[in-house]
Amino acid sequence: MSESSITEASLKAALTDRLQAVHVEVTDMSGGCGQSFTSLIVSPTFAGQSSLKRHRAVNAALKAEIASIHAWSAKCQTPDEWERDKAKNSGDGTGPPMDGTVRGQVQGVDA
């Protein structure tokens, strides 16, 4: 897979298909060059799995894509965990993690 073909949409489609995800949010944090992504993945296949097993499943599902990008971060939840977090956050949604960013962009990257 070439770098230019990796987009928020292509990663979302791959995760939805390969992990039977019911909700996926992917954010390109590299200013559009497709080298740094963060995500929220909600899948019933994560039920009963540790955080490590969930992340391994995601990394295996995106093996080719991850090999072509610089940075990848994923928050993995079951549908029940996602609904609980949404309710806890007053319906704001959890969204992908934005740690280490300024307004959703990695510092030092021109948008």
Least confidently predicted of 39-43, 86-90, 103-107: 103-107
pLDDT at 107 over 80: no
Cα dihedral 47, 24, 83, 20 in deg (nearest 10): -40
User: What value does the mean pLDDT of the chain take?
Assistant: 84
Q: pTM for the complete prediction?
A: 0.76
CB atoms inside a 10 Å sphere around CB 78: 18
pLDDT at residue 40 in the model:
96
* Domains of the chain with bracketed CATH: 3-106 (3.30.300.90)
Q: Do residues 39 and 74 make contact, with C-beta atoms less than 8 angstroms apart?
A: yes
Model pLDDT, residue 2: 45
- State pLDDT tens for residues 2-40: 445 789 999 999 999 999 999 999 999 987 777 899 999
